[in-house]
Structure 1
Amino acid sequence: MSLTLQSAARLLDEHHLLREIIAGDLWTLDASQVDDADKPFADITYDTRTVNTGSLLCCKGRFKAEYLDGIDTHGLAAYVAETDFSSATKAPGLIVNDVRKAMSLLSAEFFGRPQDNLTVIGITGTKGKTTTAYFTQAVLNAYSDGKCALFSSVDNCLDGHTYVESDLTTPESLDAFRMMRTAVDNGMRYLVMEVSSQAYKVDRVYGLTFDVAGFLNISPDHISPIEHPTFEDYLYCKRQIIANTKQLVYGADMAHVDLVQQDTAVHHVTATSFALHNEGKDSGTAANTIAWPSDDAHSAYHIAIDGIDLGEYHLSIDGDFNYLNAAAAVSIAHAAGVPTDATNALHAMESVRIAGRMEQFRDPQSNTIAIVDYAHNYASVTALLDFVYERYGAHNPRITLITGSAGNKAYDRRKEIVKAAEKRIHNFIFTAEDTDTEPFIDICMEMQSYITVPNMTSTVISDRPTAIMNAVYDARAHADRFNVLLIIGKGNERWIKDHNKHVPFEGDDHIVERMFNLSNGN
């Protein structure tokens, strides 16, 4: 379906977003009074640099009139904005109450509502979104012969097998619908996408209804002036996925589960739950899908749906919490139509590995294990340390945490990371992570100030490669102990964000491989 000024105005009016149309001296609600109102737009964009003949421009964010200088020479057909820019362009303007909501609706329409040709699955939660998304895609790919797309915080995949690094956990709405269109054109039948709290905060998924949504868990995170002012606001934004899905899969042991269950009742959403029973099949909270260890070492787990044992699962990613993610993925895939007897498809997630997530390396020169992971908040650091003590606790490990925290946002993480770790480790090394304008050293010094354990060893080394190298040398100097180096926050990313620029970076995993002289990884 082509998008025209007239159809765009009608759509916006239906959603109570249209204020008026301004074309020169003409102010109207009737698009037919505007020249070329039935001429299809050639493109839709939010970037003035990509405007060409026939483009519809969405003026989102802190848009200024000067951004339109010379725009008419590029052939701008119309613009959507919350402000009248008729003094800067001759193109007609669709003046709206909320340009982000308008952009989402118009983008879906421009790209022919590709979501209608996909089973769209959204996954939210404080931790585990990416791993669960990859597990779910693996199952659906196996079930559909490679016809599942993926939007994640690590990669986007539009053809079932080619992965390209992503910029956002949840893409801008215009980009998301463009990618959905490509996925449909590539023959995809399913789409699994991570849905961040910001996606609802800034309307990146406005107007999108999920066929299945997964709500994994919730804990305080992303609290800052530019993200969520309070935990209540963070949770509220997360909960919006419940009002915008047909089916919900949720963690039976998640915090505020009663509120989530009330939401499902209010919005008449079919809901199923999943849980991890660490001490055996019948040792935990009742849930539709459960996972429980099949041996004392927790090296494998059984997963069952509604009492049907799906067999034993041996994941390629360590950690009990990843078996919980696996239970979530199985439950989500089942809700999306994968039957319990599709054994090969359900077990497809066993081979999934995600670069930078629970990657383990052993130093041949010392009794040292290094784990590279994306852990970046209280919940994920706690889960990581739980795994270390469960797997290596008998060795009385000497644990060093190499960590930083994001700049200009999520200020709560800085204290929470320290709080999660300080009574369970032997040494902190604070170092650079991604930042906007805050100096790395200031963030590191702030995190160091939150240590409350007397005589805790801590060091600030703002250069990240140097910090990792120092941790390795320190471990080798304590070769009489079993050492665990936890290098968190960056995973396998090959850049560090500094003053809004991506500065090339070797990568935590590559630094460890180089220091351990591992030519072929772990």
Structure 2
Amino acid sequence: MTLTLQSAADLLSEHGLLREIITPDRWTDFAGVLPGADVPFAHITYDTKQIRPRTLMCCKGNFKAAYLDGADDAGIAAYVAEHDYSSATRAPGLIVSSATKALSLLAQAFYDYPERELTLIGVTGTKGKTTTAYFTHAVINTMCGGTCALFSSVDNCVDGKHYVASDLTTPESLDAARMMREAVANGMRYLVMEVSSQAYKVDRVHGLTFDAAAFLNISPDHISPIEHPTFEDYLYCKRQIVRNTRALVLNIPGDYTDLIAEDATVMNVPVTTCSIEDMNADVNARPVDDAHTTFAFTAGQPLGELHLALEGDFNYANACAALALAHTVGIDIEDPRALQSLADVRISGRMEEMEDPRSDTVAIVDYAHNYASVSALLDFIERRFGDRHPRITLLTGSTGDKAIDRRHEIVEAAQDRVQRIVLTAEDTDKEDPMAVAEEMLGYVTNPDVDASIIIDRAAAVEDIVAEARDHDGFDVLLVIGKGDEQWMKVRNRHVPYEGDSYILTRMFS
């Protein structure tokens, strides 16, 4: 499809988004009466710095008319906006009720609907999205000759084998459409993508229907004035994936799974269940040893036993979801290669375990950042190392400007299960990292916990290693929140940072 002013107007009208078309000279409901209405757009963007000849510009978010200064000279052909900017440009404006929904629809049309040439698989949940996406990607790539693309919070992959660091859990709709077209051009037949609550909140996946989607779990997170004002809003946004998929994989048991199942019934969406707790689930797994290092998988019949490189019961639950998703889109998971494809999957910065050659110390780097993920991590430590009675140190911070509840949740999950908590800088953005750390310190009520602040994160990592080396006994260091990220977000920009795992590797070498 070639996108023109006429076809863009028709598409927006079809979806009930177009209000009117405005130029400095007239208002109209009909694009065809304007000069050049059938001339194809050569470019589409939501960044005025990228305007070039024949560009369709989407004005979304906190857009100001001043941003269009020079747009006419740069070559803007039309704009899409919720407000009239005819005082700033002579280009016709498609005035819409929602610029973000309009952008998603127009992006799909501009790139000629690449999603229709891919089997789309979505993954949502408070925790486990990334791991499940990687696992699903591994199964499909193994079984389908490397023809699966991936969009995740860690990496994007549009050719089945090369990975590029991502900026968002779910890409902006325009970027997603562009990358989907690249994936199709590269011979990809499948796409696995993480779908965040924000993706539905701000319409990044508006107009997309998944062939299969997984709902892993739900617990309070991302609740703040700039994300979700309430848990109800967070859950509502998560639930939208059920209304936008042809088949659902549901992890059981879990909070609100009855509600999710009701949503599926209302929408006539078939449900496949997965579980490491309910052996009646369609795809399930159970531990075969006391340490839970190997699980036996079943999907109607035994699939085999598996030991994951990514340890922890929660990762075996993610593996169940991945197998269920693959099965739902037609992959033969009874083939032994499907299960074994999961064995060696590793994700940078997730459950990275390192040993110190100079002391009896194990360090684990992970992205755990809320009550659920910190609790799951400590459950794993207890099961894995409990008989060795470790001294556990947790190094953590929390994000600024958003997800405020995480600050007390992390402390609540940890303070009765660790011996030391070191609070440090994380991606505090516009907030003072010391203020965030001091707030978290105020939530520590257990007098037996050694809690302190070392705001320089690199110095904090070095400190806990030094203390472990001085301690006569077994230590476990949990360094969470940043994973392998080599930057800190400060005032909306990335400031270089050595990286948690890189500091530990340096110190342990």
What band does the TM-score fall into relative to the shorter chain? over 0.9
Aligned match of 2:486 in 483, 490, 494? Answer: 494
Q: Does 1:408 align with 2:409?
A: no
| TM superposition shift of 1:476 | 1.2
Contact 2:306/2:339 (CA < 8 Å) preserved in 1? Answer: no
Helix, strand or coil for the counterpart of 1:349? coil
Q: In 1, distance between residues paired with 2:327 and 2:343?
A: 16
C-alpha deviation, 1:299, in angstroms: 1.5
Q: Where does 1:61-460 land on structure 2 (aligned, <5 Å)?
A: 61-277=61-277, 284=278, 286-305=280-299, 307-460=300-453
Deviation at 1:302, TM superposition (A): 1.1
Counterpart residue type for residue 168 of structure 2: L
Distance 2:469 2:437 in 1: 24
> How far did 1:291 drift?
0.6
Query: Does 18-27 or 218-227 show the bigger shift?
Result: 18-27
Please name the residue that 1:281 is paired with: none
Contact between 1:253 and 1:285, CA under 8 Å: does it hold in 2?
no
Contact 2:149 2:183 in 1 (8 A): yes
Q: Is the 8 A contact 1:475 1:483 kept in 2?
A: yes
Asked if the contact 1:9/1:94 (under 8 Å) is kept, the reply is yes
Q: CA deviation at 1:144?
A: 1.1
Separation in structure 1 between the aligned mates of residue 199 and residue 399 of structure 2, nearest angstrom: 19
In the TM superposition, what whole-angstrom CA distance separates every residue of 1:197-244 from its partner, at most 9, and x where no partner exists? 000000000010000000000000001000011111100000000000
User: For 1:440 and 1:39, how far apart are their aligned partners in 2?
Assistant: 51
After TM superposition, give the deviation of residue 346 of structure 1 in Å.
Answer: 3.3
Does structure 2 retain, via aligned residues, the 8 Å contact 1:227–1:409?
Answer: yes
Letter in 2 for 1:360: E
Alpha-carbon distance in structure 1 between the residues aligned to 2:59 and 2:293: 52
Q: Give the Cα–Cα distance (whole angstroms) in 1 for the partners of residues 296 and 372 of structure 2.
A: 24
Further displaced range: 72-81 or 498-507: 498-507
Which residue of structure 2 lines up, in the alignment, with residue 280 of structure 1?
Answer: none
Q: Deviations over 1:255-309 (max 9, x none)?
A: 11110010001111011110103xxxxxx3631110111222212111111x211
Q: Do 2:397 and 2:426's aligned partners in 1 also have CA atoms closer than 8 Å?
A: yes
Corresponding letter in the other structure for 1:205: V
Aligned residue pairs, count: 509
Shift of 1:342: 2.5
Q: Secondary structure at the match of 2:377?
A: helix
Counterpart check, 1:42 vs 2:42: yes
**Once the two structures are superposed, what CA deviation does each residue of 1:74-126 show, in whole Å capped at 9, x if it has no partner?**
11000000000111101000000000000000000000000000000000000
Number of the residue aligned with 2:458 = 465
The residue identity in structure 2 corresponding to 1:488 is: I
Which residue identity does 1:411 align to in structure 2? I
- What CA distance in whole angstroms lies between the structure 1 residues aligned with 2:287 and 2:448? 38
Pairwise CA distance, 1:320: 1.0
What stretches of structure 1 move > 3 A for 4+ residues in a row?
Answer: none
How far, CA to CA, are the matches of 1:316 and 1:336 in structure 2?
25
Alignment-derived partner of residue 496 in structure 2: 504
Scaled by the length of structure 1, the TM-score of the pair is 0.97
AA aligned opposite 1:512: L
> Contact 2:332–2:338 (CA<8 Å) still a contact in 1?
no
SS in 2 for 1:191: strand
Number of the residue aligned with 1:513: 505
**Same amino acid, percent of matched pairs:** 60
TM-superposed CA distance for 1:340, in Å, is 3.1
Partners of 1:154 and 1:169 within 8 A in 2: yes
Aligned partner letter, 1:450: Y
> How many Å apart are 1:365 and its aligned residue?
1.1
The answer for the alignment partner of 1:484 in structure 2 is 476
Asked if 1 retains the 8 angstrom alpha-carbon contact of 2:398 and 2:436, the reply is: yes
* Equivalent residue letter for 2:446: V
The CA distance in 2 between the partners of 1:302 and 1:193, in whole Å, is: 27
Q: Please say if residues 419 and 448 of structure 2, whose CA atoms lie closer than 8 Å, have aligned partners that are also in contact.
A: no
**Is the 1:23–1:90 contact (alpha carbons within 8 Å) kept by the matching residues of 2?**
yes
Matched letter for residue 471 of structure 1: I
Deviation at 1:26, TM superposition (A): 1.5
Cα distance in 1 for residues equivalent to 2:408 and 2:341: 38
Please say if residues 304 and 339 of structure 2, whose CA atoms lie closer than 8 Å, have aligned partners that are also in contact.
no
1:25 is aligned to 2:25 = yes
The residue type equivalent to 1:304 in the other structure is: T
TM-score w.r.t. the length of structure 2 is 0.99
SS at match of 1:351: coil
- Superposed CA deviations along residues 292-336 of structure 1, whole A, max 9, x for unmatched, are 11222212111111x211101111111111111101100111101
Measure the CA separation in 2 of the matches of 1:216 and 1:104.
25
Taking only aligned residues, the RMSD between alpha carbons, in angstroms, comes to 0.8
Asked whether the equivalents of residues 155 and 164 of structure 1 are also in contact (C-alpha less than 8 Å), the reply is yes
Q: Which amino acid aligns with 2:390?
A: P
SS at match of 1:310: strand
**C-alpha displacement at 1:355, in angstroms?**
1.0
Separation (CA, whole Å) in 2 of partners of 1:343 and 1:286: 22
Query: Per-residue CA shift, 1:381-411, capped at 9, x if unaligned?
Result: 0000000000000011100000000000000
